[in-house]
Chains A and B, each alone.
Chain A
Amino acid sequence: MDKRLEPIVKDVQEKFGATLAEFREEAHLFVAAEKIVGALTLLRDTHKFELLSALTASDYYPQTTPRFHVIYQLSSVEKNLTLQVRVPVNEANPQVPTAAHVYKVANWREREVFDMFGIVFEGHPDPRRILMPEDTVGHPLRKDYPLGYEEPQFTFNFDEIRVVKPAPKE
């Protein structure tokens, strides 16, 4: 971890009870969902992380508490630092307060995370799907969502698959 990150990490840990994990020189801060807007605002205003580089999520199915991590990748243009903030989200209540008013780019990125993972961002100004059509059922990047391969036909399931497939007209 970069030496200059240490006071910043300490500040967030003290104010928001965050825990730290490190891997390959990267700092990952774990923050609770209800404190994320405060933590992001602090990082943006006091510590000059003015760029939200990426906002995404990861699904740890079949684990349920937490099932998801919402990941905020922050960059500081002024200080040339990066920091990752992760928010664990439970399956029972997949909700995170929106950060769209802290970083405007979060508007579209949160729509994408909602579209792909079904995590609801409370108070989002425009909560529609963004990449998938409006009438899609399910959320494709969840681990329990199938990739959509056609099942190969073997002798043991020969009839089963022939019934499901549309037959050509005679």
Chain B
Amino acid sequence: MSQIEEVSVDQFKHLVSERALTGETMLLNMGPQHPSTHGVLRVLLELDGETIINCVPDIGYLHTGVEKNMEAKTYQKAEVMTDRLDYMNPLGNNLSYVLAVEKLVDLDVPARAQAIRVILVELQRIASHMVWLGAFGLDLAAMSMFLYCFRERERILDIFELVSGQRMMTTYIRPGGVWRDVPVEFDKAVREFVQMFHKRVDEYERLLTRNPIFIDRLVGIGYLSVETALQYGVTGPNLRASGSDWDLRKARPYMGYEQYDFNIPTRPEGDTYARYIVRIEELRESLKIIEQALNKMPLGPVNSDNRKFVPPPRAEIGVSMEALIHHFKLWTEGFPAPKNSVYSAVESPRGELGMYLEGDGGPKPYRIHLRTPSFDNLAVLPEIVKGHLVADLVAILASIDIVLGDIDR
């Protein structure tokens, strides 16, 4: 039998107060297997009674070496790793990665592909917020929310299956465009969903927004100021709930976001309730973007015609020697990228999802770094839970919307 080592408090000595070492306060592990940590997260808590004095998050349980693995694959093949990174937002991750590749090799995307990308990414944002809202409700003992939210999310996953054949790991957005054009049923399916979902958001609000138990648990809990948020690199709805209107879709528009009319919901309070309200409002704004994109979706190709980066259509391979060569070269060797680096970022449901991508002249990324929003959003946790009760930690952790696959990569 292997020896069982007792973990000493020495390695956390500088992170907890002196009273913890004398036993006056209690050190308690929350997780790694705990339903409200939304994955495999361990939080070491120093407690005085039920009040949190210090909080030390311990991450890395889901670390799979995504960055190292991507360095060993060609640009096209590395994309499948991004699906598995933040499993609540696979299409958003695809988009972020593909934008970085397109920036590195300087590749343009046709307007129809841009519109399709926007619709799918906004649907993904709704699906991600649905999981968040369901889990948030569940953590606050509103069990039925979980069931309602997953019912709606299923409709979105059906749309993803319709366009890509996959519910979650889609890899649908590719460098230079998308995998293939959307089927004819797509327009109707999305319109039906949008029409239905407007009413559903109102239903959620009727259940939660003015619910006295809900308000008691949330208002004034987990205050985060704009200055603290920026210091810790917190972005996305968490930052906007503190009063800043920083949204990359408005600030640095990509994929033609500048042509859509939508608002950035913000709240000045910075507490857990504000983070809830901001996300609910974002659902409505996403619906607005989807409707506009559907109405003005242009016709035309969905892939760039630059054959050095995008494989030729299937029909061309039978009749064109060049097309066959391009097809063969692209799927065996891949395409080369210049020896330089780019950083491109998109607004994911959780904040700024950035990709630092470095090429070396060959067909594989030399270095790729994923700037994942959940990582920084979790880093601020020790700052905002101090002085709260353990039960509030559950509410705060649920409200900052972390995905452990996104943190550990």
- A contacts, CB < 8 Å to B: 23-24, 26, 28, 50-54, 56, 58-59, 71, 73, 75, 77, 80, 82, 84, 103-105, 107-108, 116, 125-126, 128-134, 140-141, 145, 147
- With A53-B354, A141-B67 given, is the CB distance from A147 to B72 under 8 Å? yes
Contacts of B367 in A (CB 8 A): 58-59
- With A54-B356, A126-B15, A133-B60 given, is the CB distance from A73 to B371 under 8 Å? yes
B343 near A54 with CB under 8 A, answer yes
Question: What sequence of 0s and 1s flags, for each residue 354-371 of chain B, a beta carbon within 8 Å of any chain A beta carbon?
Answer: 101010000000110101
28 pairs of residues in contact across A and B, judged by CB atoms under 8 Å: A23-B342, A24-B340, A26-B343, A50-B230, A53-B233, A53-B354, A54-B343, A54-B354, A54-B369, A56-B369, A58-B341, A73-B356, A77-B230, A77-B244, A80-B252, A104-B231, A104-B379, A105-B231, A105-B232, A105-B379, A108-B376, A108-B379, A125-B14, A130-B59, A131-B63, A133-B60, A141-B67, A141-B68
What CA separation (Å) do A31 and B152 show in the bound complex? 50
A24 near B60 with CB under 8 A, answer no
What CA separation (Å) do A134 and B371 show in the bound complex? 23
Q: How many A-B residue pairs have CB under 8 A?
A: 90
- Which of A54, A56, A80, A126 gathers the greatest number of chain B CB atoms within 10 Å? A54
Contacts of A116 in B (CB 8 A): 67
- With A54-B343, A56-B356, A73-B371 given, is the CB distance from A140 to B68 under 8 Å? yes
A82 near B343 with CB under 8 A, answer yes
What CA separation (Å) do A75 and B367 show in the bound complex? 21
Main secondary structure of the interface of B (DSSP, over half): mixed
Question: What sequence of 0s and 1s flags, for each residue 1-23 of chain B, a beta carbon within 8 Å of any chain A beta carbon?
Answer: 00000000001001100000000
Kindly identify which residue among A50, A107, A128, A145 contacts B379, using a CB–CB cutoff of 8 Å.
Answer: A107
A131 near B68 with CB under 8 A, answer no
B231 near A132 with CB under 8 A, answer no
B343 near A103 with CB under 8 A, answer no
Contacts of B354 in A (CB 8 A): 53-54, 73
- Least CB separation from A147: chain B residue: B72
B59 near A131 with CB under 8 A, answer yes
Contacts of A126 in B (CB 8 A): 14-15
What CA separation (Å) do A74 and B10 show in the bound complex? 35
Kindly identify which residue among A24, A50, A147 contacts B342, using a CB–CB cutoff of 8 Å.
Answer: A24
**Shortest distance in angstroms between A91's beta carbon and chain B's nearest beta carbon?**
17
- With A73-B356, A131-B408, A141-B68 given, is the CB distance from A24 to B230 under 8 Å? no
What CA separation (Å) do A107 and B378 show in the bound complex? 12
- Least CB separation from B375: chain A residue: A108
What CA separation (Å) do A77 and B234 show in the bound complex? 12
Kindly identify which residue among A28, A53, A105, A130 contacts B60, using a CB–CB cutoff of 8 Å.
Answer: A130
- Least CB separation from B12: chain A residue: A128
**Shortest distance in angstroms between B31's beta carbon and chain A's nearest beta carbon?**
16
Q: Is B166 an interface residue (CB 8 A)?
A: no
B65 near A140 with CB under 8 A, answer yes
Contacts of B343 in A (CB 8 A): 26, 53-54, 73, 82, 84
**Shortest distance in angstroms between A71's beta carbon and chain B's nearest beta carbon?**
7
